[in-house]
Structure 1
């Protein structure tokens, strides 16, 4: 077990014009489950590989358990990797795959068998120890890869999009198993994914990256309730937050022919900033569909029925600004209908129209 510290850690690939990871600062506590999330090219996998010793640290440092890892070979960092493609030996049984790293270390046969048996019990693989990987499902193979990491008893787990090859149902099941297993083992874990739902449901804290730079590092609820900038606001949440840059009026912001009212402290913050327009963020669940008068008049573009709820995709009549609303009941709205959206109780988020930084509390 160990804590981890990224201190201004940067990585520049050969012949690249920009840093893959740019001055990353993260303090990860012993036993935490941390998720690195971001779009393709954000630097999340590179940051993980830097921790594992698979990429050079060009500037700054990374510490594990208080020890500087710059120049330390991967094999000497006491880290276990779990990859997207499982990386199992097809000619070896499940038990042999799980115990192979221990065999290479010279661990005795009996001790090796015990560690493999214990890990197999944790992962519900006991009945499959004599099978070859080709006879297993995708979820079972991923559990074998997890078992191979567990038997090493490392101080850190590094997981690079381990669920990407699984179908949607199996992903949900396996991510629940991984999160529960990590809580039981208490091993510090750094997990990379591009799926923000996966990040929000698994991580104790989540680091959101964009273009190699850290945007926000917080608990999932903090990311959702108080995004630091417009990028985080739009990336976290499914469906995405409605973000639109609109003119400021005396009591709020103008949306089409309607006004979205703001709190007094928000109006004061906008006045202090001297802005004429502002980027407004409203989550779909804060918008309620109505066929009555008042509210924001919109035209329905698409209705997604999900059974227990539906998402209504619309645009504001006149200016084309797109808005998505969530309805917990089956909506009567149909394509091309004109309806009204009313804001439910909940925060309206404000961001600077140029920098994207959050305005106010």
Structure 2
């Protein structure tokens, strides 16, 4: 086990105009589970491959346990990689697949069997050691790939979207198993995913990347409660945060005729900023349908029934506001009621909390 440091690490692909990873700085503690997350093309897989030695570091450093990895071959980094593709040998049994790397290192048969048996017990694979991969489910195959990494007892686990090939139910089950297993082993782990729910539920800390640049590196709770910029605010959370650029008049933000309620801290930040417009963010759980009184006037465009609750997507008619990442002025509110409205019906949406996020419209950075 070891700590990991990305120190202004950069990677650029031949012929590319922009860096795939641009001056990445991360300090990952010994035994920590860190998730790299971001949309396609954000540089998260490249950053992981740089750590594993599969991509060159064009400038800066990556250190494992204090040792600089620039120029060090992948086989000498004491890292075990788990890929999206299980990459199992179809003609070998589960036990042979798990122990193959040890065999190549010349580990005696008895020791090999002992290590494989210990890993199989951890992964509930003891009863499958004599089976071939074709006779296993997708989740079992992924656990075999995990076992192959575990028996090596590396300093670092690198996992590149290992759950992408699994169905939704199995993904939830397997991600909880991986997180629990990592905490039992205490091995430093860097995990790549494009799924922000996966990132939030698995990582001790999460690094959000965009266009190769680190946007924020923090705990899941901090990312959710205090996103550093509008991109992180819109990326973290499901459904996504409602984000609109809205005018500020006499210190008040209005959306479709309704004034946005701010807490004392946000109100002071807005007044000190002197901005004539601001990006305002409100999470769907802080909005609900109002029976009467003031609120945001909107027309229901979509209902998402989830059983225990309903998400209402409603279209706003307000020429003064601009949605951040969409052409349609849609606001999302959560309702504990089933079928609280009908499609096309006019509704009134009100705030249930002053937990409002404000961002500078020119930089996207959080106010304060």
**Bucket of the pairwise TM-score, normalised by the shorter protein:** over 0.9
Residue number in structure 1 paired with 2:363: 355
User: Do the aligned residues in 1 keep the contact of 2:8 with 2:22 (CA within 8 Å)?
Assistant: yes
> What is the deviation of 1:274?
2.3
- Secondary structure of 1:350's match? strand
Query: Which stretch has the larger CA shift, 285-294 or 95-104?
Result: 285-294
User: Do the aligned residues in 1 keep the contact of 2:10 with 2:59 (CA within 8 Å)?
Assistant: yes
Alignment of 1:180-259 (within 5 A): 180-259=180-259
* Per-residue Cα deviation, 1:141-192 (whole angstroms, up to 9, x for no partner): 0000000000000000000000000000000000000000000000000000
> What is the deviation of 1:294?
1.3
> What is the deviation of 1:325?
0.5
- Secondary structure of 2:260's match? strand
Residue number in structure 2 paired with 1:327: 335
- Secondary structure of 2:63's match? strand
Residue number in structure 1 paired with 2:323: none
The CA distance in 2 between the partners of 1:207 and 1:30, in whole Å, is: 16
The CA distance in 2 between the partners of 1:261 and 1:252, in whole Å, is: 9
Flag structure 1 segments of 5+ consecutive residues without an equivalent. Answer: none
User: Do the aligned residues in 2 keep the contact of 1:252 with 1:262 (CA within 8 Å)?
Assistant: no
Residue number in structure 1 paired with 2:100: 100
The CA distance in 2 between the partners of 1:222 and 1:270, in whole Å, is: 21
> What is the deviation of 1:318?
4.2
The CA distance in 2 between the partners of 1:126 and 1:266, in whole Å, is: 56
> What is the deviation of 1:265?
3.2
Alignment of 1:9-88 (within 5 A): 9-88=9-88
The CA distance in 1 between the partners of 2:92 and 2:268, in whole Å, is: 67
> What is the deviation of 1:251?
4.6
Flag structure 2 segments of 5+ consecutive residues without an equivalent. Answer: 320-327
* Per-residue Cα deviation, 1:249-269 (whole angstroms, up to 9, x for no partner): 235201112211223432332
* Per-residue Cα deviation, 1:51-79 (whole angstroms, up to 9, x for no partner): 00000000100000000000000000000
User: Do the aligned residues in 2 keep the contact of 1:253 with 1:262 (CA within 8 Å)?
Assistant: no
After the TM superposition, list the runs of 4 or more consecutive aligned residues in structure 1 that deviate by more than 6 angstroms: none
- Secondary structure of 2:143's match? helix
The CA distance in 2 between the partners of 1:268 and 1:106, in whole Å, is: 67
Alignment of 1:76-155 (within 5 A): 76-155=76-155
The CA distance in 2 between the partners of 1:197 and 1:282, in whole Å, is: 19
The CA distance in 1 between the partners of 2:294 and 2:256, in whole Å, is: 12
The CA distance in 1 between the partners of 2:265 and 2:141, in whole Å, is: 54
> What is the deviation of 1:346?
4.2
Alignment of 1:277-296 (within 5 A): 277-296=277-296
The CA distance in 2 between the partners of 1:151 and 1:254, in whole Å, is: 59
User: Do the aligned residues in 2 keep the contact of 1:11 with 1:21 (CA within 8 Å)?
Assistant: yes
Alignment RMSD (CA, Å): 1.0
- Structure 2-normalised TM-score? 0.96
Residue number in structure 2 paired with 1:345: 353
Query: Which stretch has the larger CA shift, 317-326 or 275-284?
Result: 317-326
Give the number of aligned pairs. 360
* Per-residue Cα deviation, 1:200-248 (whole angstroms, up to 9, x for no partner): 0000000000000000000000000000000000000000000000011
The CA distance in 1 between the partners of 2:337 and 2:119, in whole Å, is: 45
User: Do the aligned residues in 2 keep the contact of 1:159 with 1:192 (CA within 8 Å)?
Assistant: yes
The CA distance in 2 between the partners of 1:302 and 1:217, in whole Å, is: 34
The CA distance in 2 between the partners of 1:252 and 1:87, in whole Å, is: 57
- Structure 1-normalised TM-score? 0.98
> What is the deviation of 1:295?
1.1
- Secondary structure of 1:261's match? coil
Query: Which stretch has the larger CA shift, 318-327 or 83-92?
Result: 318-327
- Secondary structure of 2:333's match? strand
The CA distance in 2 between the partners of 1:224 and 1:302, in whole Å, is: 25
> What is the deviation of 1:348?
0.2
The CA distance in 1 between the partners of 2:76 and 2:254, in whole Å, is: 59
> What is the deviation of 1:297?
1.1
- Secondary structure of 2:353's match? coil
The CA distance in 2 between the partners of 1:82 and 1:17, in whole Å, is: 30
